[in-house]
Homo-oligomer: A and B are copies of this chain.
Amino acid sequence: MSQQYPSALLEKAVNEFAKLPGIGRKTAMRLVLHLLRQDNNAVESFANALLTLKNEVKYCKVCHNISDSEICHICNNPQRDASTICVVENIQDVMAVENTQQFKGLYHVLGGVISPMDGIGPSDLQINSLVERVAKGDIKEVILALGSTMEGDTTNFYIFRKLAPYNVKLSIIARGISVGDELEYADEVTLGRSIANRILFTGNN
């Protein structure tokens, strides 16, 4: 017993917090003691928010994003361009792209990327349902917006092969120097790609 908790209830709560990613035992202790200092309502509201989310959350039947209804508010929005699908890894990525306000189409959340090391194969991801969406024929363009990693590249290539039989434009988000970055600090692969994939300079891009 290197760590003696004065209360078994406290220890249990700390253990639960310490299971969360990136939360060590000291942080867990600090968080639990913070909650203990709040009034009963605050702790109940915290616990209930989690239980309600877990019990009532739905995933959009079309794009698999988290949703409060069967079809999410993006897929349900007639203002959005239903002929363009942006393929992303997870829910956070949908929010990240939405925050750019540069994309008016729909999404497709894979729920991960192909990663043999982690035992994640194509069948663990929402790739078949992407193919089904494309097979219906109303999709003009699929934009691959996965991370620029080995796993992202593998997944991109897998989707590329799966969608090859269909008459759909397949594009990939640009990789290059981050806006605000100095050239000298960019890695050579990124710099090389940004030169190879250079675009016409029009004075306002």
User: Residues of B contacting A9 with CB < 8 Å?
Assistant: 49, 52-53, 56-57, 68
0/1 interface trace, chain A 25-59, chain B, CB 8 Å (1 if under): 00101111111100010111111111111111110
Please tell me which one of the listed residues B42, B50, B51, B95 contacts residue A5 in the complex, with CB atoms under 8 A apart.
Answer: B95
User: Residues of B contacting A42 with CB < 8 Å?
Assistant: 19
Given known contacts A22-B27, A31-B20, is B73 in contact with A6 (CB within 8 Å)?
A: yes
A143 within 8 A of B: no
A84 within 8 A of B: no
Please tell me which one of the listed residues B5, B40, B57, B68 contacts residue A36 in the complex, with CB atoms under 8 A apart.
Answer: B57
Closest Cβ of chain B to A15, distance in Å, is: 8
A162 within 8 A of B: no
User: Residues of B contacting A2 with CB < 8 Å?
Assistant: 99
Please tell me which one of the listed residues B12, B56, B66 contacts residue A53 in the complex, with CB atoms under 8 A apart.
Answer: B12
Please tell me which one of the listed residues B4, B58, B99 contacts residue A98 in the complex, with CB atoms under 8 A apart.
Answer: B4
Q: Which residues of A contact B (CB under 8 A)?
A: 2-10, 12-13, 15-17, 19-23, 27, 29-36, 40, 42-58, 60, 65-68, 72-74, 90-92, 94-95, 98-99
- 17 A/B residue pairs, CB under 8 Å, sorted by A: A2-B99, A3-B99, A5-B95, A6-B94, A8-B68, A9-B49, A9-B53, A12-B49, A13-B49, A16-B45, A16-B50, A19-B46, A20-B31, A33-B90, A36-B53, A36-B54, A43-B54
Contacts A6-B91, A7-B68, A20-B34 given; 12 further ones with Cβ under 8 A? A2-B99, A4-B99, A6-B66, A6-B73, A8-B68, A10-B53, A17-B46, A21-B30, A22-B30, A30-B92, A36-B54, A44-B54
